[in-house]
Amino acid sequence: MTSLDKPTEDAQREVQDAPGGPDGSPDSRAVTEAALFEAFGGVRGMVETVLPGLLFVSIFTINKDLHSAALAALGVSVLLVVVRLVMKDTVKHAFSGVFGVAFGVVFAMMTGNAKDFYLPGMLYTLGLALAYIFTTLAGVPLIGLMLGPVFKENLSWRTRNPGRKKAYAKASYAWGLILLAKCAILFPLYWWADTTQLGWVLIALKIPPFLLAVWLTWVFLAKAPAPIDVFAEMEAAEQAEKERKSAERAAATGE
């Protein structure tokens, strides 16, 4: 296997450190918790998601200056990436935050409307909600695509593990509906509320819907059948092939 076929080192470490069951293997619920923690960034990822927006709305509430609020939000996003780079930690969550804030800053600067700082993120949330729902309707729930490599099962759940596919479908629908409900609150506020009102409501809605969606995902997956470790299967097949070739060479040379 190539390195691209394997889950991230962080995901492997989280799963390996999970408490063991009676047979010495990681308990399925602990493995699920570890995988979700890694996939969605954990507490640190939540902080990196909330902090730039919180800084923007706080500064704008105080001085009503779009430029200083936007630059402060962008600056703290870049700082979070730098900290992760210095600590040699995964930067995917911090980088996604930088891009999100950068789009918001550019959009708000172009229009001169401070509320537009939030619009790209709101549109992204709407698009993500629809992606969760439509991928599930198409038979490839997005949560399964995201978590399959983390659980070392890739897409085996689609054809070989129907119970797990059903759990991924339920989780994806949950994410989609929760995010749609969030959009149903935020988009009317974009038109009717002022920048500070929209900003504080958006900050308030950052973590609770996310935690609800993660908790529901954990509930569905903890009750689902165990994942099929396709990486272990591939490694076993590779080892068997090596042994077969070795035996053929030994037979050919009369050893």
Domain assignment present for residue 17? The answer is no
138 vs 9, more confident: 138
Phi, psi of 20 (to 5 degrees): -85, 155
- Which has the closest alpha carbon to 177: 155, 209, 204, 154? 209
Number of structural domains in the chain:
1
Domain assignment present for residue 214? The answer is yes
pLDDT (average), residues 121-146:
95
112: left (phi over 0), alpha (psi -120 to 50) or beta: left
Q: pLDDT value at position 186?
A: 96
* Model confidence band, residue 151 (pLDDT cutoffs 50, 70, 90): confident
Cβ neighbours around 126 below 10 Å, total: 17
Please tell me what DSSP assigns to residue 91.
Answer: -
**105 pLDDT above the threshold of 60:** yes
For the segment 224-247, what is each residue's pLDDT rounded down to a tens digit? 998 888 877 777 777 777 777 777
- Please list the residues that pair with 26 across neighbouring strands: 20
* Model confidence band, residue 4 (pLDDT cutoffs 50, 70, 90): very low
HEC readout, 16-60 = HCCCECCCCCECHHHHHHHHHHHHHCHHHHHHHHHHHHHHHHHHH
**22 pLDDT above the threshold of 80:** no
- Which has the closest alpha carbon to 78: 101, 46, 106? 101
For the segment 60-96, what is each residue's pLDDT rounded down to a tens digit? 999 888 989 999 999 988 888 888 888 777 666 666 7
Terminal-residue alpha carbon distance, the chain = 30
- Which has the closest alpha carbon to 204: 40, 17, 54? 54
Q: pLDDT value at position 196?
A: 93
Domain assignment present for residue 133? The answer is yes
Range of the domain at 251: 118-255
For the segment 183-229, what is each residue's pLDDT rounded down to a tens digit? 999 999 999 999 999 999 999 999 899 999 999 999 999 889 988 88
For the segment 24-65, what is each residue's pLDDT rounded down to a tens digit? 344 566 667 777 776 676 777 788 888 888 899 999 999 888
For the segment 156-193, what is each residue's pLDDT rounded down to a tens digit? 999 999 999 999 999 999 999 999 999 999 999 999 99
Task: Give the predicted TM-score (pTM) of the model.
Answer: 0.78
Domain assignment present for residue 198? The answer is yes
Domain assignment present for residue 205? The answer is yes
Token pair belonging to 89: 């930690």
